[in-house]
Structure formats: C-alpha cells, structure tokens
C-alpha cells in the first residue's frame, strides 16, 4: 500500500530538486479494488503516512493510474471499482524538476498535493504545506538578493560584522566602478555645463527620478516573477504597458519640474529639464522592467536586478540623456 522511495537515490539529486522536498510515504492502492475494500485496507494506515490528502491508484505494473479523494471514496458505492470513481492525474513532476516551479504549480492549480513519478511509478508527493515552505524560503532569498547581499546563513541579528561586510562589499565596489560612466558623461559635456551652470542644479533630481522609477519597476517585476504571476513570454505585453505608464508618470513629473526650471534658469532650461524628465523616467522604468527578464533568460536569479544595480545603470544613462537634450536646445 505504501511505497517508499527506493528506486531513486535522493543524494544524487541536485540542490533545488523537488525529489529532495517530497514526502516519500503516501497512500497508494491497486485500482482493481472496490471502494469498500479500499476503506478496509486503509484502516490504521493513515497515521503512518506523511501525506494523506489523496489515495493514489496504480495498475498491475505499479504505474500511477489515477487519484481518489477521501470524500469521493466515502461517497462511492461499496462495490464500485476504484477506477470508476478515480480522477485522472493531470499534473505530476519528475524528482529532478525544480522545486520552486513545482510549488508554483500547486498554488496555480489549487492542488493539495503534486505526485512525483519516475518511469511512471509514484515515488513521492509534494504537499501544499511543503510547497508553501519552498516559496517562503524563495521569498527570503529574493529579499536578500534585492539588498543586494550574499545569502546569510543566520538571522540579521545573529550575523557578525565581518560576515555582513563580506556579504555587501562586492556589490558596492562593482557599482562604484559602474558609476564612473556617470562621471565620464559629465566630463564630456563640460563646456555645456560651463556655459549654463544652472543645468547642474537639476542633475541630481533627474537621475534620481530615473533610478527611483527603475527601482519601482524592477521590484514589481521581481516579485511577479517570483510568485509566478508572469512568465518570460509576457515581456512584450508588459513592456508596452510599462512604456505608456512611464510616459504618464514622466509627463506628470515634467510639469512639476518645469515650473522650477523657469524660475531657476528660464524657458530653455525648463524645456530641457521637462523633456529630459519624460525620457529618463521612461528609460529607467523600461530598464527596471526588462532586467529581471534578461537575468532569468540567461539563467540568473531575477532578484539580482536589485535597486542599486538598476539605479547605477539609470544614473549613467540619465546623465547622457539630460546633457544631450540640453545641448540640442541650448547650443
């Protein structure tokens, strides 16, 4: 009745495989039994199994052939064959499949358990409770990557100074060198800045706005990918929608900042700042929306599209966009 996982050795599976997270004892009966025989066979057995949400059926060759809930079993006529009250198994997974994807499948399809098969034979069940634990752990990892830090093995309160330093220093050093491009952009437009020093007043405002917009988009997208709300194939639709949203956001912010531009430097500077705001916010939002998709496509965790990374990219792009637009208007 109970099948223990013996056909596959769990130690050979890679970390993150669902075979390492599944319950290896479960209720399984031959499909040839009647409902009455099944109830008799199950007495006293439920307490010894880890997963008792469903009764799984097998044919004469131990192949998974169907599934019956306890409610269906109790309501069935005693003489009814189990195969006549069983439901088809519509979703299953292999032991080597990714545990996070299997967990999302359980919640997307509202399953109480996901059968894990090898060669058609049931070897384990991923329960809904275990799926919830997998997704909780993944969320914790995503938040640490968004920081961005290396994954901490203990809680923040218990982690030492040196461990916290090592978890953060690499990203920050990399981003320092990334910000050199912003300085190079400023140096390139040195003559323009000298001709109109008022442009510098708006530089932090503009590049911060682009970084903030990009960080918002990236955070929303990382969360959506992590919870399975969107898939890589949704990118084209989402990027088109984000372009419209960011244009509206940028336009609203441009109206506000143009008033300050007129007061601070006159109509030309106001126009340059307003146009730059629209373009920078749009670019920042599209970068933030696209980075998680790109990282997932190349096999990296989308959470690496963290706020500091997006902000650094948007800073460099923002500087170039702002001074290019200003040069076209003022020179």
The dotted CATH code for 161-330 is 1.10.357.20
Write down the domain spans for the chain: 1-128, 161-330
For residue 197, is pLDDT > 80? yes
Residue 101 backbone class (left: φ over 0; alpha: ψ -120 to 50; beta: rest):
alpha
116: helix, coil or strand?
A: strand
Report the length, in residues, of the chain.
331
CA distance 301 to 294: 10
**Average pLDDT score over residue span 225-245:** 83
CA distance 15 to 288: 29
Architecture of the domain spanning 1-128: Roll (3.10)
Q: 226: Cβ–Cβ under 8 A, 6 or more apart, which residues? A: 138, 139, 142, 302, 303
**Considering the entire predicted model, what is its pTM?**
0.59
End-to-end CA distance of the chain: 84
Contact criterion met (CB below 8 Å) for 283 and 315? no
**Average pLDDT score over residue span 8-27:** 75
What integer pLDDT is reported at residue 276 of this predicted model?
95
For residue 50, is pLDDT > 80? no
What integer pLDDT is reported at residue 248 of this predicted model?
95
Among the listed residues 196, 199, 327, the one whose alpha carbon sits nearest the alpha carbon of residue 261? 199
Tally of helices (H runs) and strands (E runs) in the chain: 12, 5
Q: Which of 45-49, 84-88, 167-171, 207-211 has the lowest mean pLDDT?
A: 45-49
Contact criterion met (CB below 8 Å) for 325 and 276? yes
Contact criterion met (CB below 8 Å) for 29 and 39? no
For residue 330, is pLDDT > 70? yes
């Amino acid at each position: 009745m109970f099948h223990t996982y013996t056909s596959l050795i769990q130690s050979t599976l890679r970390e993150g495989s669902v075979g390492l997270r599944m319950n290896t004892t479960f209720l399984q009966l031959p499909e040839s039994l009647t409902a009455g025989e099944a109830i008799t066979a199950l007495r006293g057995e439920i307490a010894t199994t880890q997963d008792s949400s469903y009764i799984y059926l097998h044919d004469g060759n131990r192949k998974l052939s169907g599934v019956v809930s306890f409610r269906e079993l109790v309501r069935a006529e005693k003489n009814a064959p189990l195969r006549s009250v069983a439901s088809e198994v519509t979703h299953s997974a292999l032991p080597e499949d990714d545990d996070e994807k299997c967990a999302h499948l359980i919640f997307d399809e509202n399953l109480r358990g996901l059968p894990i098969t090898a060669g058609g034979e049931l070897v384990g069940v991923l329960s809904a409770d275990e799926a919830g634990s997998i997704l909780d752990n993944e969320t914790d990892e995503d938040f640490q990557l968004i920081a961005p830090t290396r994954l901490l093995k203990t809680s923040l309160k218990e982690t030492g100074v040196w461990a916290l330093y090592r978890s953060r220093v690499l990203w920050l050093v990399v981003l320092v060198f990334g910000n050199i491009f912003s300085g190079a952009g400023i140096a390139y437009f040195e003559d323009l800045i000298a001709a109109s020093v008022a442009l510098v007043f708006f530089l932090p405002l503009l590049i911060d706005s682009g970084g903030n917009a990009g960080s918002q988009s990236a955070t929303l997208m990382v969360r959506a990918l992590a919870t399975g709300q969107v898939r890589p194939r949704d990118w084209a639709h989402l990027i088109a929608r984000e372009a419209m949203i960011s244009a509206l956001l940028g336009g609203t912010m441009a109206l506000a900042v143009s008033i300050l531009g007129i007061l601070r430097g006159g109509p030309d500077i106001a126009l340059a700042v307003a146009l730059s705001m629209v373009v920078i916010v749009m670019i920042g939002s599209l970068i933030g929306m696209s980075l998680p998709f790109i990282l997932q496509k190349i096999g990296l965790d989308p959470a690496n599209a963290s706020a500091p990374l997006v902000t650094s990219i948007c800073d460099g792009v923002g500087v170039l966009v702002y001074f290019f637009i200003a040069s076209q208007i003022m020179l």
